[in-house]
Amino acid sequence: MLYREAGQFRTTYAEDMAIFPIRQDRIALAILLGIAFIGVPLLADFDIWPFGSDYLLRAILLPFLILALAAIGVNILVGYCGQISLGSGAFMAIGAYSAYKLGTGVHIPLASLDFAISIPPLPVLLAILLGGLTAALAGILFGIPSLRIKGLYLAVATLAAQFFFDWVFLRVSWFTNYAPSGSVNAPTLDFFGLNVGTPIERYMLCLIFVTVFAVLAKNLVRGNLGRQWMAIRDMDIAAELIGIRPLYAKLTAFAVSSFIIGVAGALWAFVYLGSWEPLAFSIDRSLQLLFMVIIGGLGSIMGSFVGAAFILILPIMLNLIPTQLGVPLSTETITHLEFIIFGSLICYLLIKEPHGFARLISIGKEKLRLWPFPY
């Protein structure tokens, strides 16, 4: 009853091709966006618990949004195009460091030519987007091996990207503006004369980025390009036989994915951390993003969000519960318990539902469609 589609007729091609052809989906999404865009700021503004506290906004929602964005990027590459990547952390780092360089001004002295290339500090928004673009270029470069190698071998090749860029940002002090400690500070977040400083402003900024990119990504994977990616993922030789160029399909997947991951990296550095070092984008981050995609659901934009929430928020919750219940456990016991529970939950989930949360949600939707007359 809740989810009956009877009577919803589509009379034009445009309606048939809509992102959300079912009315209930549209309503649910509108409510969700309404809560995210209007509800949360209002609740925070009126100081309504728990939204009034900085903690929820700054320590949970902000990293959730940014990592969800990165997970969308990883999902395009791994979930839609089937190119396993362990280099996502590196692409986040490229986004972050190039946005940092562009945001603080680039100066390349060419001593032999007695000439220097100087770019004045760019507006932060532009710097973040260009950071994504730089990551896209690097993504294309490191995607080239994918034309010859597949699967685990490709994963190892992208792992090389991870270690290479870790090394570059640690070693080449030009990228950190010669900061003595190698830790850099993001420029102040000014957008068109507006300073984005408070937690709620930062939240809104990330929310806008995530929404725009999620919609773009969703449309992309539904369209011609997305279908090419999926064809390559499902069977590359068959795809080639029906006229899909693997070179084009694979490299676009790398480019789009790295672009989104790069933007997420810039946001992670500028908006969440404010000051960072290469360790913030280490191999741990790559694995975390890959787990998000696997748990959330390969080949699902929504799955990226659910996966990000699971991987990021569950450990925090597991950490908070004993304290809140007043159970006197030492922090190391809690941390070890957290590892055990988290690990077992992942195993259980992947055995029960190898396609991740996205599949669970679509099963739920199927059931709702038939409710109350299951068969």
Partner 1 sequence: MVRNKLMLAAAILSGGAFASPAAAQNEQFIPILSYRTGAYAVNGVPYANGVADYYNLVNERDGGINGVKLLVEECETGYATDKGVECYERLKGKGPTGAAFINPLSTGITFALTEKTATDKIPIITMGYGRADSKNGAVFSYNFPLLGTYWSAADIAIQHVAKEVGGFDKLKGKKISLVYHDSPYGKEPIPMLQVLAQKHGFEFAPIPVTHPGVEQKSQWLAIRQNRPDYVLLWGWGVMNGTAVKEAAAVAYPRDRMIGVWWSGAEPDVTPAGDQATGYKALMLQHGAGKFPVHADLEKYVYAKGKGASEPGKVGEVLYNRGMTNAMLGVEAIRKAQEKFGKKPLTGEQVRWGLENLDLSDVRLKELGFEGMLKPIKISCSDHEGAREGRVQQWDGKGWKIISDWYTANLSNTEPLVDEISAKYAADKKIQPRDCSKES
Binding site for partner 1 (CB under 8 A): 49-50, 53-56, 58-59, 63, 104, 170, 180-183, 185, 187-188, 197, 272-277, 279-280, 282, 316-317, 319-321, 323-325, 330-332, 334-336
Tell me the β-bridge partners of 185: 275
Q: What is the residue type of 1?
A: M
Between residues 253 and 289, which has the closer beta carbon with respect to partner 1?
289
Could you give the C-alpha distances from 13 to 17, 21, 218, in angstroms and in order? 6, 11, 18
Q: Phi and psi (nearest 5°) for 309?
A: -60, -45
> Position of tokens 């068959």?
238
Give the side-chain half-sphere CA count within 13 A for 71.
32
Output the smallest distance, CB 349 to partner 1, in A.
14
Choice between 254 and 272, CB closer to partner 1: 272
**For residues 288 and 295, what is the distance between their CA atoms, to the nearest angstrom?**
10
Distance CA 171, CA 324 (A): 44
Rounded CA-CA distance 131/259 in Å is 8
- CA dist 251 and 234 (Å) reads 17
- Minimum CB distance to partner 1, residue 18 (Å): 32
Q: Nearest approach, Cβ of 117 to partner 1 (angstroms)? A: 22
Closer by beta carbon to partner 1, 140 or else 360? 360
The number of residues making up the chain comes to 375
Q: Give least dist CB 242 to partner 1, A.
A: 44
Q: What DSSP element (H or E) covers 110?
A: strand 106-110
Between residues 84 and 312, which has the closer beta carbon with respect to partner 1?
A: 312
Q: In this structure, are residues 116 and 191 in contact, taking their beta carbons and an 8 Å threshold?
A: no
Assign 3-class secondary structure to 331-355.
Answer: HHHHHHHHHHHHHHHHHHHHHHCCC
d(CA 229, CA 204): 32
Q: How far is the CB of 199 from partner 1 (least distance, A)?
A: 9
Of 157 and 312, which has the nearer Cβ to partner 1?
312
Return the half-sphere exposure (C-beta side, CA atoms, 13 A cut-off) of residue 216: 13
Query: Which residue lies nearer to partner 1 by CB, 16 or 332?
Result: 332
The minimum distance between CB 339 and partner 1, in angstroms, equals 8
For the CB of residue 221, give the shortest distance to partner 1 in the complex, in Å.
29
Cβ-based nearer residue to partner 1, 216 or 320: 320
Handedness of CA 304, 307, 309, 313 (dihedral sign): negative
For residue 267, the minimal CB distance to partner 1 (Å) is 13
Least separation in angstroms between CB 65 and partner 1: 14
- In the bound state with partner 1, the residue whose beta carbon lies nearer, of 59 and 244, is 59
Q: Which residues contact residue 224 at a Cβ distance below 8 angstroms, ignoring those fewer than 6 apart?
A: none
- Between 58 and 218, CB nearer to partner 1: 58
- How many Cβ atoms are within 10 Å of 133's Cβ, its own excluded? 18
CB of 157 to partner 1, least distance (A): 21
**Which of 24/104 has CB closer to partner 1?**
104
Only one residue has tokens 């979930």, namely 79
| Cα Rg, the chain, nearest whole Å | 22
